[in-house]
Amino acid sequence: MSMPKTIIRHCQPNPFTMLDLPQDLDSIVREFAPILHFHPNEGKHCCYPSDAEEIYSRFNGDWSKFKRDLSPKTLDHSAPCYYETFDHGKWLQIRYWFWYRYNKFPRAFFFKGLHLGDWEHIEVRIYPELDDGVIIWFLSNHLTARLGSHPEGYTFPGFVPEKIQTDGYHVHAWVALGSHAHYPSPQSKPHTFLRIWRDFYADGGVVWKTEGSLKPLKSTNFYGYTGRWGDKKAPRSPTNPYNNSWRNATDVAPERYVLQ
C-alpha cells in the first residue's frame, strides 16, 4: 500500500546566490567534504581508511598476493579522501571515496560480510537553480545508500529521506564498525541481515574531517583501472561501470515530497 504524500513548501533563500559553481569548483569540493565519525572500537575490530595508491602499486600485478590486512589500527588524518566531480550543466555532482583494506562485518559467521578491500563513498548532488538551492546527500550503505537533503523533505524515488547533520555544507556520517557503511545519525535504524547481523555505530570515536586530505580520483595511479581490488569478492574499482554517475539514483530532479 503506497503512503500519501504531502507537498512541503520552503521560504529559505537560495544558499548558492554568492557562488559561481563552474568557476569555483575546487572550493565547492572543499566546502562539501564530509566529516566521518568512527566507532570507538574500529581500531580494535578492523581498520581505518588508508592509501589506495600504495595498495594498487603493490598488488595490481598480482592481486592474489593481497591478503587479509586489518590495518591501520589508528586513523591517519592525512589518509586520502579521493573525489570525482560531474558537471551536468544545471546541477553538480561530487562523489567522495574512502578505501579500507578489509571489510569485517561484526559477529559474521559462514564468512558472510568478510572480504578483502572496501570502497565506500558519499555523494553530493547540488541543484543551485531549484527554488531552494537543493542539496542531496547519498551515504553509501552496503549495496544501497541513506539519503538526506537540505532543505529537508526532498528525496528520490525509492528513498525515504532521513534527517542529516551538517557543519556548514560538510555532512556528518557515522561509520559502522567493520563494515564501514554510513549512517546520518548514531540513532539511525541499522541495516540488518537475516535478522541476525546488524551494523553498530556510535559517538565517542575518532572524527575525520576529510577536507584536509582531498585528492582528485583522476590524478591517482589507479584511475584507469576498472577491475576488483582483490579476489572475486572484493569491491569493484571506483572507475568500474558499476560505479557510474547513476549508481545511487538516476538523472531525475529531486522530489519536493515527504512520506507521511
pLDDT of residue 82: 98
Question: Beta strand pairing status for 134-141 and 114-127?
Answer: antiparallel
36 belongs to a structural domain: yes
125 belongs to a structural domain: yes
79 belongs to a structural domain: yes
- pLDDT tens per residue across span 11-50: 334 444 434 454 678 999 999 999 999 999 999 999 999 9
12 belongs to a structural domain: no
187 belongs to a structural domain: yes
Domain range spanning residue 87? Answer: 17-61+69-249
All three cell numbers of 209: 574531517
Q: What is the DSSP letter of 76?
A: -
pLDDT of residue 196: 76
What string of DSSP letters covers 96-144? EEEEEEEEE-TT--TTTTEEEEEEEEEEEEEETTSTT-EEEEEEEETTE
pLDDT of residue 100: 98
Residue 191: closest CA among 207, 178, 208, 205: 178
- pLDDT tens per residue across span 102-121: 999 987 666 678 999 999 99
Q: What is the sign, positive or negative, of the torsion defined by CA atoms of 55, 142, 87, 49? A: negative
Tell me the Ramachandran region of residue 107: left when phi exceeds 0, alpha when psi lies from -120 to 50, beta otherwise: left
6 belongs to a structural domain: no
7 belongs to a structural domain: no
- pLDDT tens per residue across span 55-70: 999 999 999 999 999 9
- pLDDT tens per residue across span 205-228: 999 999 999 999 999 999 999 999
112 belongs to a structural domain: yes
Count: domains in the chain: 1
- Structure pTM? 0.90
